[in-house]
Amino acid sequence: MAKRSFKLPHTLVLIYLLVILVYGLALVLPSGEFDRAEKTVQGQTRLVTVPGTYHQIEKKWLGPQWLLIAPIRGFQDASL
């Protein structure tokens, strides 16, 4: 059997590469948001986006230190 020449990197390496890619895209792509309105659906009030109300917003610049802090904050936010 032929030996594989490509070995998949460790999972954490792949996650950090993905974080770096998303950080790069965040620097390039424009920031924006939709307006939201409260709507009652099946007795529950929910925030829904209003079609056609997309507008650009001021970009929040994050420094490179964000790359180290983001996964930790993500884990903290998910645990709450």
Q: Is 44 left (phi over 0), alpha (psi -120 to 50) or beta?
A: beta
Q: How far apart are CA 45 and CA 41, in angstroms?
A: 6
Cβ atoms within 10 A of the Cβ of 23, count? 14
Task: Please report, for residues 11, 20, 24, 27, the alpha-carbon distance to residue 64 in angstroms, rounded to integers and kept in the order given.
Answer: 21, 9, 10, 11
Map out the domains of the chain as residue ranges: 31-75
Q: Mind listing the pLDDT tens digit of every residue in the chain (80 residues)?
A: 677 788 889 998 998 899 889 888 988 999 999 999 999 988 999 999 999 999 999 988 888 888 788 878 888 999 97
Looking at residue 64, its pLDDT comes to 82
